Structure 1
Amino acid sequence: MEAVWSGTWVADRLGVSLREAGAPGSPRLAELLGLALRRNPKRAHLLVSQVLGKHVPQSPATVYAAGHGLGERVRALLGADGAARAVVLGYAETATGLGHCVADGLGAAPYLHSTRRPVPGVEPAGGFEEAHSHATSHLLLPEDPELLAGSGPLVLVDDEFSTGNTVLNTIRDLHARHPRAHYVVVALADMRSPADRDRLTAFAAEIGARVDLIALASGTVTLPEGVLAKGQALVEEYEARAAAEGGPTRPHRQAGGAAPGDGPPPVTRVDLAWPAALPDGGRHGFTPAHRTALDQALPAMAARLGAALGDDPGRVLVLGNEELMYAPLRLAKALEEAGAAREVRFSTTTRSPVLAVDDPGYAIRSRLVFPAHDAPADGPGDRYAYNVAGAGFDAVVAVVDSAGDTPELHTGLLASLAPHTGRVLLAAVPSYVPDRQEHAPTMTEPTPGEPLREPVREPLRGPAFSSYAAEDVGWLLQDFSDVELEAPTEEREEAIQAGGAHYAESLPVEYQPSPQYQELYQSALTASAARIARAVGTVTETVLAERSPSPVLVSLARAGTPVGVLMRRWARARHGLDLPHYAVSIVRGRGIDANAVRWLAARHDPADVVFVDGWTGKGAITRELAAALAEYPGFNPEIVVLADPGSCVETYGTREDFLIPSACLNSTVSGLISRTVLRADLVGPADFHGAKFYRELAGADVSTAFVDTVAAHFDEVADAVDEEVKELLAADRTPTWEGWAAVERISEEYGIHDVNLVKPGVGETTRVLLRRVPWKILAQRGAGADLDHVRLLAEQRGVPVEEVDGLPYTCVGLIHPRFTRGATGADGKAVASK
C-alpha cells in the first residue's frame, strides 16, 4: 500500500500545492516536505521537513546524510582552495544541526551557529533579525573574534530558503564588518518566488560579491485565493476540538508506552563522560579539531547509552533540545550504527507552535507542550515536541545541555514524555564556557573578576553632568555630550530591523513636546502625584524590610533614575537614611555595564546593592539583568520597580498599569540625560557605557520639579503605605509573567513574530511613540485620562489607536517588522505600514 503524503490533509482542505522546480534527479518536494497549519495572521501553512530531525522523528543516518551531502556539493563548488578557507554559519534554532553536518561534508571548515542565548562576557560579532521568528534576535558569539573576519568563502545554512530576508540581513551585517568576495547559501529546500530570486541577484551586485545557492530540492508553494482565512478557521476549529478532548497528545495507551494513570516511569540519568573542553555545539564555534575529538569519543559515549538502554530496548527516540541538535544527532547515529536498538529515531524540541492533527496525511500528528526549562533570554514560555506522543517509542533519550538541566526540565519536558513511552533517559552535555583568556575581546569589557584598568573613573554628578543635585545620583557613565550620536527615527528603525545596527549604538533625536503635550504632562502629574508617592513609599519600605536596612540604590539609566532619586528621598524623609544612589547602563542583548558592576563591588557590599527600574513591560530587562549578574556572585539579580504590570518581579510599588508621568518625556524628566550608548569605537575595555547631557534643554527641564511634586505627597500617603506594606509582606508575590504570555499572544495574532517589537504598558507605549517607528497602538477599551498623552502623540505621528477587549495592559505599542519609509504621518515622519 502506497504511503500517504503528509501534506494531503492541508492540500485537500486549502488547495495548497507544491510545484517542482528542481533539476532532474534531485529529491522531489513531497519526499522532503509535508504540510501543517499554525496560528499566524500572515501565513497559515507550514512546510515541515522530513529530513531535518526537528518536527518529524527520522533515522539519524538520513538526517546526517542530507546535510553532509550538501556540504560535499559546497566543497565541489569551492574547490580545494576555497573549501580550505571557508567558514560555515548555521541558523538557530532549526538549522544548527544541519549546519554542523554541512561543515562535516565540506571537510576542514570551522563552524558557528547563531544563538538566541546571550552569554555574559562574550562580545557579539554580529546579529540580525528573522522576520517570521517566534523568538528573539539572532546573536553571533564566536569564542575567537577573528572567526568571521577572514576573506574566504562564507557558507550560510538554513533549513528552508523561503524569501531570503534572513540571509540578506546576515550578509548585510557581516559584509559591512568584514567584506568578502564569495557567499554560498545552503538549504534543504529553495522555495523562493521569482521576485525573491531577482532580489538576491540584485543584492549580490550591490555589494560586489558572488552569492551561490545550493539546495536538495527547489520549487514554489501555490496558494489559492482565500487560503489564509480558511487556514485560520481550520486552526480555530481543531484547536477548540483538541482543547475539548484534553489536548493533542492522544492520551490513550500507545504501543511501547505507558497509559496515563499507570504513573510516570522513573527517569534514568546517563553519564556520557563528555570530553572536557569539547564544545556541546557551535554556539561559540566548532573547529575541525573539535570534530575529531567528538569522532573519537562517540563510540564510548554510545556504548554508555546502549548499556543504559539494555539488551532489547525496542524503538528508541533520541530527543535533542532546541539549538542543541548536533550532539544528540551524532549520539543517535552512533547508536544506530552500533545496532543498539531495533530502531533509532532522532528529533528535537522546538519553540515554534504548530497545530497537531491525528491524520496520516498531516505532518504533525501529535504535540507535547511544556514550559521552557533553560531560563531563556526572551522570557518564559511554552516549548513543544512533535510526533513523539503516540509514535510507539519504547524509550526516549532526552539530551540537553547543562544549562537546561533544571528542576523545570523534570516537571516539564520529562514529565510530558513519561506517559507516552516505557522509559525516559536523560543525558546532560556540559554547556561550553568560552576561554576568554585565550580569545580576549578587543573592544569590550574585561574578563569578570579582573580588576578595572586605570584610570578608575568616579561617578559623574550634577550640575556638571545632569540637572539632579550631586547627592541625588552618581552616574557610572562616560560623558558623550560632544559626540554626534543622533539619527532620524525612521533611519534608526530601518537600520535596527535590517540587522545592521543595534539600538544602543545611536540615539533618537530628542522629542520636543508641543505646548499641548506639556499641558497634558502637567495635568497627568497633578492627577497622579499622590498615587506615585504611595508606590514609591511601598517599594522603598519593602526593600528596607526585606533586602537591606541600608541599601545601595543602583538605578538602570535612565527610566529607573527618577525612581531611585524618589526612593532615596523617601528613605531620608521617613527614616533619616542617606542612601547611596548610582545610575548604570544595561542594554538589551548586550547586558549590564560590567565595569560599573565591578566598581560597585569594590566600594560596597554586593548584598546591599538593589537594582531599580521604573516599570516592567514584558520583563525583558528583568531577565537581562538576571542573566548578566550570573557571573558576579553576591549581587541579588532581582530588580525592584515602581510599577510591575507584567507581573515580572516580587518587589514593586504597584502592579497597576497607570501613567507614570516620567514616562511621558525623555531627558527633560530624567536629569537631561540621554538613553545610554554602547558602541565599540567609543567604549573601550576599561570604560563605562556612555550618555549625553543635554545642557541646551535646561529651559524645558522638569526633572527636579517632578521629584519635588511627588515628594510633597509623602506625608499624606505614609499611613496608607504602612498598611499596604504589611499586606504585601504577608502576600504571595511570586511573578506570574502573565504580561509575557500576553505579548507572545499579541505578537502572533498581529503577525509580528518578534516579542521585541511588542511594547506593553503605558510607559513602553510612550517610548515607542517618542523613539521608534510605530505601526499601531492597542488600547484597553474604555481607558481614560491615563492615555490622553498616548492618543495625542499617536495623532501627531499618524499612528492608529485600536481599542480592544481583554488587554491585560492599559495599552500596547506595536512596531511592525516590515515598515516602509514611504508611509508618513501628519508630521511628515515615517510610520509603519503593511
Structure 2
Amino acid sequence: MSGGYGEGHTTVTWEADTDGKERGEERGAARAEAEERTPGARRWPGEWVAQRLGVRLEVPEGEPDELRDLLGLALRRNPRRAHLLVSRVLGKHVPQLPEVVYGTGLALGERVRDLLGDEADRAVVLGYAETATALGHSVADGLGTAVYLHSTRRPVPGVTPVGGFEEEHSHATSHLLLPEDPELPAGDGPLVLVDDEFSTGTTVLNTITALHRAFPRERYVIVALTDLRGEADRARLEKFAAELGARVDVVALATGGVHLPEDVLERGAALVEAHDDPPPAPAAGPREVRRVDLGWPSGLPDGGRHGFTPAHRARLEAALPAMADRIAAELPDGARRVLVLGCEELMYAPLRLADALAGATTAEVRFSTTTRSPVLAVDEPGYAIRTRLVFPAHDDPADGPGPRYAYNVAGQGFDAVVAVVDSVADTPALHAPDGLLAHLAAHTGRVLLAVVPSHRPLPRPLRGPEFSSYAAEDVGWLLQDLSDVHLEAPTEEREEAIQSGGAHYAESLPVEYQPSEEYQRLFHQALDASAARIARAVGTVTDTLLAERGHGLVLASLARAGTPVGVLMRRWARHVHGLDLPHYAVSIVRGRGIDTTALRWLAAHHDPSDVVFVDGWTGKGAITRELAEALRPFPGFDPELAVLADPGGCVRTYGTREDFLIPSACLNSTVSGLISRTVLRADLVGPDDFHGAKFYRELASSDVSRHFLDTVEARFEEVREQVADDVRALLAADRAPTWAGWKAVERISEEYGIGDVNLVKPGVGETTRVLLRRVPWRVLARRGAGADLDHIRLLADQRGVPVEEVDDLPYSCVGLIHPRYTRGATGADGKAVR
C-alpha cells in the first residue's frame, strides 16, 4: 500500500498481490489458463501499437509489472484520444472466462470492504457506463451489502435524472443518473465510484463535484482495474479532496502510467486511415436464431441502471441456475466453445448468466459485450482487437442509429453465441439482414437470443403540499397529477355518455360541486354530532386489523372515499399504539379493476401480505367484488377489504354495520385533500403509469379536509374503552359477509323496473354521491330515518328529486339513477330528470 496523506483525506493505492496468496490465487490461475487458450496470447497484445505509435506502459521502479497482464493496446477513431487501453479482464472487447471477469470485481469489492471496515455496510456503489457497469456491480457484490447504481447514456421516458456528468475523452460523453429512488445517492455512508481505468481523474472529479453538491458526504472511494495517473493528476486529486473537506481513497489492481508521444493524435489518425478496411457484410443465406425463455424473475431489474439492492441480488442468485439450464438445453450437441454476448450497458446480467452457464455445460464459456466505441481492428497477434463486427444500433438510442461493434467474436471458433439483450433492444433492427444477429450467425453454428425484461422505474408517490392538502406523512398518493388536463363535463352529458356506453365514468370528471352556505352548515353540524361515532368506528376497524394481522400493516386506501378513513386509521395507530403505519392511496375503477402499477409499487416496497385495502363504506359490494377479482393475478395480496361502515354486509372487517352519515361523504374534494376522483383514460394513462387525478388548488379557501381529520382525532381518547369492548366482541363473533345489501339492491332494481343494479346506489354515502355527481331519479329513505339524512333531503330539494319513505330497507337510504336517461327525459312522477 502506498500513497500520501493530507488534511481530512487520503489517497491510497492498492496494488495487485504478487505472491498469489491473498484472495487472488484461484483467480490468477484461472486467468493464466484462460490466456494460454486465447489466440495470440503468447505475444503481448500491445506490441503492434507500441512499435508504430510509440505508446508504452510504464511501471514505477521497483514495483511489479501487472499492467501488461491486464491491458493490451489498440487504436480508435476518436479526436480526443488516439489509443485504447484494452482490458483483458473486463469482458468488454476481449472474450474472457466469466469467472475471471466476475472474480476480479469481487476481489476489488472485498478490498474496499476491508478498507472501509464498519462503514462498508452504508456504502453506495456507482459504476460508469458503459464499460464498467458489470465491474461496478461485481464490486458491489464483493462489498456484500452495498446498493448499486450505474450511470447510463440511454434516457428513459418519464424518468427524471437526479444528476449527470461529462466524460470528456469518451466517444459518447454524457452520463445520466436515473435511480428509481431519487434518494439512493444520499446517506452518510461512503460513495464508491468504479471505472475500468483511472487515467487523469477528470471524469471522477466531475462526478464527485456534481454529486457532492446534491448529496454531500465525508468519504469517497475510487476503484479501478488500473491507476494510470501522473504526478500532476495525483496532486490535483489531493488538492480537490482537501478543498472538498472529504476523504478520497483509491483502490486499484495495478498502478503505472502511459507514455504518449507529443504527436500521438496525428500519428494515430494516420494509422487508422491506413489500416481501417471496411468490415464485411453478413453472409447471405439461411441463419438459425433460437429464442431462449430465461424465466427472468418478475420485477427483478435487468441491472443497476435504476438501482440494484441486496434483495435484488438474492433473487438473482436464486434464479440463475434454472436460467442457465434453459440456455444449456438449447446449445448444439457437442458444443466446445460458447460465447455469451452482452449488449453495451447490459453487462452484469449476461456476465452472471455466463458464469452460471459455465457450471451447467462442459463447454468452455466466454463472455464479452458489444460497444459503441469505434476501434481499429488489425488481425495481428500483437494487437488487442483482431476482428470487428459492425451493425446498426438496435435500442433506439438518443444519439441515433449509428454503428455499434462487437470485437474479437468473428473467427474465434465459437460453436454457439448467446446474445443477451434487454427488451428495449429487441427491435426489428436487431433482427434485420444487417443486424447483430445476422452478423453473429455468419460466424457460429447457432445463435441463441435471450431477452431480459427492461426495468422501467415505477412512478413515485405524490404527497402534500405539492399534491393534496394533506400533510406529506398522512398519505402517499399512488396517482399521477392531471391537474392541467381539462376533464370536467356537465353532469347531464356524462350521464348520457355513460348509460349509452359511449364512455366509462372514469374517463371524465363531474364539475366539482360547490356547496351552498346552508349545506356547509349541515356538514359542520353533522361532523360535530358524529365525530365520536366515527372515532369509535375508526378505532374498532384499526384495532381489529392489528389484533388479527399484527403491527406491520401497510394501509392502502381506495381513492378517494377511502383516503380520509385511511388517514384516520393511521392517526389512531399512532395516537393509541405509537405505530407509524405506511399509508398510500390507490385507484380502483368499477369494471376495469385496480391500478396494477400501484400494486407493483406496493409489492416493490412492502411485503404484499402486509397490505390492507381500506374504503369508507360498502354499498351493495360492487367494489368488494371488483377488488377480489382484480387481485387474482397478484399473489400475496389479501383481497379482504376493511371499511369504516358495512351496512351491506359485504366484508368481515369493519368498524360498524350501521348505515350512518360519515361527513366525509357529504362533500367532494374539499373533504378529501382537494383531490378529484380518479381518472383512467387510455390517452392519459399508459401501462406503466399510475391512474390519474386532479388537485383542485383553487378550492383551498373551502377546504375542510384537515378540519374533518382533526375533529375526529380529538375524540379518540373518549372512545378508547368502547373500542376495546367492540373489538373483543367482534373477534369472538361470526363476521362472515351476509350480502344482505346486494339482495336488497336486486329487489329494488326489479321493483322499480331499473334492470341494472349499477344504477341503484345504496347507503348514505352512495346516495350522497348520486346527488352530487350523477343525474338522480329519486331517493328511497327508510321510514323514520332522522338527522343522518338532513343533508340528503337538502340536496334532493335543491335538485328537484323526490324523497320516498319506504319500509323494509336495510340502509338508511338508497339513491336511484333513471335507467333510460336522455336530455329532457321525465321520471315516473312526471318531473324532469336533471
TM-score, structure 1 normalization: 0.52
| One-letter amino acid of the counterpart of residue 321, structure 1 | C
- Residue 456 of structure 2 corresponds to which residue in structure 1? 433
- Residue 329 of structure 2 corresponds to which residue in structure 1? 307
The 3-state SS of whatever aligns with 1:64 is: helix
The 3-state SS of whatever aligns with 2:430 is: helix
C-alpha separation in 1, matches of 2:258 and 2:86: 13
CA shift in 2, pair 1:407/1:204, >3 Å: same
C-alpha separation in 2, matches of 1:51 and 1:440: 47
Determine if contact 1:316/1:341 at 8 Å carries over to the other structure: no
C-alpha separation in 1, matches of 2:464 and 2:63: 48
* Alignment of 1:62 onto 2:100: yes
Q: Among residues 380, 385, 389, which one is paired with 2:410 in the alignment?
A: 389
- Residue 401 of structure 1 corresponds to which residue in structure 2? 422
Determine if contact 1:68/1:105 at 8 Å carries over to the other structure: yes
1:268-296 CA distances to partner (integer Å, 9 max, x unpaired)? 10000000111100011100011111111
The 3-state SS of whatever aligns with 1:180 is: coil
CA shift in 2, pair 1:283/1:189, >3 Å: same
| One-letter amino acid of the counterpart of residue 217, structure 2 | R
* Alignment of 1:41 onto 2:63: no
- Residue 373 of structure 1 corresponds to which residue in structure 2? 394
1:463-493 CA distances to partner (integer Å, 9 max, x unpaired)? xxxxxxxxxxxxxxxxxxxxxxxxxxxxxxx
1:515-546 CA distances to partner (integer Å, 9 max, x unpaired)? xxxxxxxxxxxxxxxxxxxxxxxxxxxxxxxx
Q: Among residues 449, 452, 466, which one is paired with 2:482 in the alignment?
A: 452
Determine if contact 2:151/2:176 at 8 Å carries over to the other structure: yes
1:674-721 CA distances to partner (integer Å, 9 max, x unpaired)? xxxxxxxxxx9999xxxxxxxxxxxxxxxxxxxxxxxxxxxxxxxxxx
* Alignment of 1:74 onto 2:104: no
C-alpha separation in 1, matches of 2:680 and 2:160: 26
Q: Among residues 156, 166, 172, which one is paired with 2:203 in the alignment?
A: 166
Unaligned regions of 5+ residues in structure 1, if any? Answer: 252-259, 459-598, 608-627, 634-683, 688-834
Unaligned regions of 5+ residues in structure 2, if any? Answer: 1-35, 469-475, 489-675, 698-834
| One-letter amino acid of the counterpart of residue 443, structure 2 | H
- Residue 628 of structure 2 corresponds to which residue in structure 1? none
* Alignment of 1:121 onto 2:151: no
Structure 1 residue 450 displacement after superposition: 2.6
Structure 1 residue 421 displacement after superposition: 0.8
| One-letter amino acid of the counterpart of residue 84, structure 1 | D
Determine if contact 1:397/1:424 at 8 Å carries over to the other structure: yes
Q: Among residues 122, 134, 156, which one is paired with 2:171 in the alignment?
A: 134
C-alpha separation in 2, matches of 1:9 and 1:64: 29
* Alignment of 1:185 onto 2:217: no
| One-letter amino acid of the counterpart of residue 116, structure 1 | R
Structure 1 residue 15 displacement after superposition: 1.8
CA shift in 2, pair 1:206/1:215, >3 Å: same
| One-letter amino acid of the counterpart of residue 144, structure 1 | D
Structure 1 residue 228 displacement after superposition: 2.5
Determine if contact 2:388/2:408 at 8 Å carries over to the other structure: yes
Larger relative contact order (CA 8 Å, sep ≥ 6)? 1
Q: Among residues 423, 439, 446, which one is paired with 2:446 in the alignment?
A: 423
CA shift in 2, pair 1:167/1:305, >3 Å: same
After TM superposition, the structure 1 = structure 2 runs for residues 466-615 of structure 1, keeping only pairs within 5 Å, are: none
- Residue 350 of structure 2 corresponds to which residue in structure 1? 328
| One-letter amino acid of the counterpart of residue 318, structure 1 | V
Determine if contact 2:480/2:689 at 8 Å carries over to the other structure: no
* Alignment of 1:109 onto 2:183: no
Determine if contact 1:264/1:419 at 8 Å carries over to the other structure: no
C-alpha separation in 2, matches of 1:320 and 1:353: 17
After TM superposition, the structure 1 = structure 2 runs for residues 633-652 of structure 1, keeping only pairs within 5 Å, are: none
C-alpha separation in 2, matches of 1:368 and 1:150: 43
| One-letter amino acid of the counterpart of residue 58, structure 2 | R
CA shift in 2, pair 1:606/1:174, >3 Å: same
- Residue 642 of structure 2 corresponds to which residue in structure 1? none
Determine if contact 1:315/1:341 at 8 Å carries over to the other structure: no
After TM superposition, the structure 1 = structure 2 runs for residues 812-827 of structure 1, keeping only pairs within 5 Å, are: none
1:90-142 CA distances to partner (integer Å, 9 max, x unpaired)? 01111000000000111111100011122223222211111122225211111
1:626-655 CA distances to partner (integer Å, 9 max, x unpaired)? xx999799xxxxxxxxxxxxxxxxxxxxxx
Question: Is the deviation greater in 198-207 or in 132-141?
Answer: 132-141
Aligned length: 461
- Residue 19 of structure 1 corresponds to which residue in structure 2? 58
The 3-state SS of whatever aligns with 1:425 is: strand
Structure 1 residue 440 displacement after superposition: 8.3
Structure 1 residue 416 displacement after superposition: 1.1
The 3-state SS of whatever aligns with 2:101 is: helix
Point out the structure with max Rg over C-alpha: 2
C-alpha separation in 1, matches of 2:465 and 2:168: 31
| One-letter amino acid of the counterpart of residue 480, structure 2 | E
- Residue 152 of structure 1 corresponds to which residue in structure 2? 189
* Alignment of 1:228 onto 2:265: yes
- Residue 274 of structure 1 corresponds to which residue in structure 2? 296
The 3-state SS of whatever aligns with 1:308 is: coil
Identity between Structure 1 and Structure 2 (%): 67
| One-letter amino acid of the counterpart of residue 418, structure 1 | A
- Residue 519 of structure 1 corresponds to which residue in structure 2? none
Structure 1 residue 369 displacement after superposition: 0.4
Structure 1 residue 391 displacement after superposition: 1.0
Q: Among residues 341, 354, 363, which one is paired with 2:384 in the alignment?
A: 363
Determine if contact 1:318/1:399 at 8 Å carries over to the other structure: yes
CA shift in 2, pair 1:120/1:229, >3 Å: closer
1:26-75 CA distances to partner (integer Å, 9 max, x unpaired)? x6101110000112233211111000000000000000111111000000
Determine if contact 2:287/2:438 at 8 Å carries over to the other structure: no
CA shift in 2, pair 1:39/1:205, >3 Å: same
Determine if contact 1:123/1:444 at 8 Å carries over to the other structure: no
Structure 1 residue 24 displacement after superposition: 4.6
CA shift in 2, pair 1:187/1:606, >3 Å: same
1:750-772 CA distances to partner (integer Å, 9 max, x unpaired)? xxxxxxxxxxxxxxxxxxxxxxx
1:540-590 CA distances to partner (integer Å, 9 max, x unpaired)? xxxxxxxxxxxxxxxxxxxxxxxxxxxxxxxxxxxxxxxxxxxxxxxxxxx
| One-letter amino acid of the counterpart of residue 211, structure 1 | V
| One-letter amino acid of the counterpart of residue 6, structure 1 | P
| One-letter amino acid of the counterpart of residue 210, structure 1 | R
CA shift in 2, pair 1:265/1:685, >3 Å: farther
- Residue 5 of structure 1 corresponds to which residue in structure 2? 44
The 3-state SS of whatever aligns with 1:40 is: coil
CA shift in 2, pair 1:395/1:444, >3 Å: farther
C-alpha separation in 2, matches of 1:292 and 1:393: 32
CA shift in 2, pair 1:270/1:113, >3 Å: same
CA shift in 2, pair 1:191/1:686, >3 Å: farther
Determine if contact 2:302/2:452 at 8 Å carries over to the other structure: yes
CA shift in 2, pair 1:438/1:56, >3 Å: farther
- Residue 632 of structure 2 corresponds to which residue in structure 1? none
| One-letter amino acid of the counterpart of residue 140, structure 1 | L
C-alpha separation in 1, matches of 2:108 and 2:414: 30
Structure 1 residue 21 displacement after superposition: 3.2
C-alpha separation in 2, matches of 1:357 and 1:101: 31
| One-letter amino acid of the counterpart of residue 79, structure 2 | P
C-alpha separation in 2, matches of 1:22 and 1:156: 28
